[in-house]
Amino acid sequence: MDKLIISNLSKSYTNGINALTEVSLEVPKGMFGLLGPNGAGKSTLMRTLATLQEPDKGSIFLGDIDLLHQKNEVRKILGYLPQEFGLYPKVSAQTLLNHLAVLKGITKRNERKEIVTSLLHKTNLYDVRKQYLGGFSGGMKQRFGIAQALLNNPKLLIVDEPTAGLDPAERNRFYNLLSEIGEKTIVILSTHIVGDVKELCTRMAIINQSRIVLSGNPIELIHNTEGRIYQKTIFKNELAAYKKEYRVINEKLFLGKPVIHILSDTNPANGFVPVKSDLEHVYFSQIKKNR
């Protein structure tokens, strides 16, 4: 299977905001997590990969296919689940899925029927296939989204923040489905939730302020920060002081009191205790560093 190679991709908007700066990535088959805070440029990158947006410069190749110039070739093997989308309210799931299958080039009626039925089963929408989409819940809508993305047996599947708005159980099921697909396909999953990547992805990249700041195998990345993370529970009014002194990469509340995590090559003592490194630490260390 071919790799997706992104080289020196840059994009800035007319209002002067840089969305992507010299982004280069190699994405092999399997689940690839693109992690970054809101506004980092994730969706811009995803839309560019989905042939919906033009970069200012750079190139993207999927094997031999020049993604920026052979858009229709890419679209044939592309599955895309946008971050936000709507559905025709007065059309049934089956009808719309069938229609989208036509758009993707599945023109043999029986073939189309077969894949639509199996995807409806797969996403467990078969029972509601005749129901108008206007009545779908958030989870059902999202499942419909993934069903349509899989219509053409995509070689490149792009899912942009797919778990937003899903309850935890719904999210897990969604992951199962994705990881199954990831065995045969390049799946790029963008998210701002570290847990998503941790659970699913064999490779990942962190994007922050339009740049790729880190990429690699999650386990290796965690390994790099291993033994450098320390934790301490403090009082609220001390926070500022700690921030001055240490490289605080994360702060959260535990039983109402702030717990801070710091990154340090040496043991800072002072009541800090070492903790096991986690992907979250990797992520926050990158985000904070650049801030």
* CA-to-CA separations, 120 to 90, 95, 141, 203, 236, in angstroms, rounded: 18, 11, 12, 29, 51
Tell which one of 3, 8, 118, 245 touches another protein (CB under 8 A): 118
Closest distance of CB 135 from another protein, Å: 4
Nearest partner of 43 among 140, 138, 198, 164, judged by Cα: 164
Cβ neighbours of 122 (radius 10 Å) = 17
> Any bridge partners for residue 189, and if so which?
33, 159
Tell which one of 7, 21, 122, 193 touches another protein (CB under 8 A): 122
Asked if 176 touches another protein (CB under 8 A), the answer is yes
Q: Which is nearer to another protein, 47 or 261 (CB)?
A: 47
> Any bridge partners for residue 216, and if so which?
204
Tell which one of 135, 235, 240, 269 touches another protein (CB under 8 A): 135
* Tokens (6 digits) for 118: 């199996």
Nearest partner of 64 among 81, 77, 80, 79, judged by Cα: 77
Asked if 130 touches another protein (CB under 8 A), the answer is no
Nearest partner of 28 among 154, 157, 203, judged by Cα: 203
Asked if 153 touches another protein (CB under 8 A), the answer is yes
Closest distance of CB 123 from another protein, Å: 7
Q: Which stretch binds another protein (CB under 8 A): 64-72, 190-198, 229-237, 248-256?
A: 64-72
Q: Which stretch binds another protein (CB under 8 A): 43-51, 204-212, 215-223, 251-259?
A: 43-51
* Binding-site size, another protein (CB under 8 A): 69
* CA-to-CA separations, 60 to 17, 22, 78, 124, 190, in angstroms, rounded: 22, 12, 14, 35, 17
| Binding footprint of another protein on the chain (CB under 8 A) | 14, 47, 50-54, 69, 71-72, 75-76, 78, 80, 82, 84-91, 95, 99-108, 111-112, 114-115, 118-119, 121-128, 131-132, 134-137, 140, 143, 145, 148, 150-153, 169-170, 173-174, 176-177, 180
